[in-house]
Amino acid sequence: MQKYLEKLFGLSGKTAIVTGAAGQLGGEFVRCLLNAGAKVAAFDIWLENPKGRLKEIKSKKFIMLNVDITKKESIQNGLKIVVSKFGPPKILINNAALDAPPNANEQETGPFESYPESSWQTIMDVNLKGMFLCCQVIGGYMAKTGGGSIINISSIYGILSPDQRIYSYKKKPFFKPISYSVSKAGVVNLSRYLATYWAKKKVRVNTLTLGGVFNNQDRNFLKNYTEKVPLSRMANQNEYNGAILFLSSDASSYMTGSNLIIDGGWSAW
């Protein structure tokens, strides 16, 4: 049984790239892939988050690269290093994303009517343009070198509208910004487009849509959020690892163009 599972879910010999690797989930995905036997390249802007949650990882199968996913040349340079050190990537996890936290400035968390154009553009540049560029550069390389699996991370707010009633910060109104929802919705159809476009090149492209992850959020928000979840809690940061292994491995060899939703039942009401 163990050998069968290792063959089905194991990633030994495969090279993976994870964007947004310095974040809470990015770091979790990196460790998950390493534990499954993959060689992993972590892409992020390390100058803004020096080594982040990954500073303690000591492995010859792991490298951290300073890559700005909003710049095509930066991605190309990162890919060259990955190929020279680990060989062609077979897994790409497009995890990098921006969102406006509750303590952002009032314009960014205010009503739609006054939402700044600059904030819209910043989030679109990372969440959608950055993913597009990573798919274009890294996915395009995968299409030329035997295929692989691309996992594009989306959010429940890419398939449903945020319930603005549950948001507040220090008892002040807080609006989940429209740019996050629109960018995450775009991820779903980006995946579908590329799944059909690259199917004959053996590049599988799927969306992984996630619910909220516990990260010591405001107590009032936690109460409001969990009341909307059938499982009555937010996800723990390691609870998406099974899906990452499934989509990265041969266990999902017949799956492409799909949207795997893991949200504790939020979208089932």
Give the residue ranges of the chain where pLDDT is below 50.
Answer: none
Host domain of residue 97 = 2-261
CATH of the domain at 168: 3.40.50.720
What global pTM score does this model have? Answer: 0.94
**Contacts of 29 by beta carbon, 8 Å cutoff, 6+ apart:** 18, 21, 93, 95, 240, 241, 244
In this structure, the strands spanning 168-169 and 172-173 are antiparallel
The pLDDT score that the predictor gives to residue 171 is 65
Cβ contact 76:139 at 8 Å: no
- Total domain count for the chain? 1
Residue 92 lies in a domain: yes
pLDDT at position 100, please?
A: 76
pLDDT digit string, tens, across residues 23-61: 999 999 999 999 999 999 999 997 556 556 687 898 999
Please check whether residue 50 lies inside any domain of the structure. yes
CA dihedral 252, 255, 257, 263 (to 10 degrees): -50
- Check residue 157 and give its pLDDT: 96
pLDDT of residue 123: 94
- Does residue 269 fall inside a structural domain? no
Q: What pLDDT score was predicted for residue 155?
A: 98
* Tokens standing for residue 119: 């904030």
Question: What are the DSSP calls for 45-60, one per residue?
Answer: -TTTSSSGGGTT---T
In this structure, what are the phi and psi dihedrals at residue 175, rounded to the nearest 5 degrees? Answer: -105, 125
Residue whose C-alpha is closest to residue 59's, from 36, 26, 83, 88: 36
Phi, psi values for residue 152, rounded to 5°: -100, 120
Residue 205 lies in a domain: yes
Residue 268 lies in a domain: no
Residue 131: count other Cβ atoms within 10 Å of its Cβ: 26
